[in-house]
Amino acid sequence: QVQLVESGGGLVQAGGSLRLSCAASGRPFSIYAMGWFRQAPGKEREFVAAISRNGRSTDYAASVKGRFTIFRDNAKNTVYLQMNSLNSEDTTVYYCAADPLRLSLQARHYTFWGQGTQDTVDS
């Protein structure tokens, strides 16, 4: 079991930046690949970014590539999502997730989920 708690969401103006954090507790953090997803009301959960266990491999959705950066600090049991050049389409709830097997773009592969954090971009 691993518990995930997101933080860092909030209100930001279009073009601005936010950094989300996801703190993990429970089993050793470094055994999990981590992902960020987002979900707007009435829509399916959407992949945003993922990072491998050691942080050497990352992957991004086309809609955020070049604007968002995922990175992790295994010593702090935390994964981050740096979000730059935000626009109104980025307004939604963001979730972090842990996959005990692999870096994946698919939500169904992730076993553990945080409660989500709301980001609102004011255009």
> pLDDT by residue for the chain (123 residues), tens digit each?
899 999 998 899 999 999 999 999 988 888 899 999 999 889 999 999 999 999 999 999 999 999 999 999 999 999 999 999 999 999 999 999 999 888 999 999 999 999 999 898 887
Residue of 42, 93, 35, 83 lying closest to 63 (CA atoms): 83
Judged by phi (left if over 0) then psi (alpha if -120 to 50, else beta), residue 77 lies in left
What local confidence, expressed as pLDDT, does residue 69 receive? Answer: 98
What local confidence, expressed as pLDDT, does residue 9 receive? Answer: 86
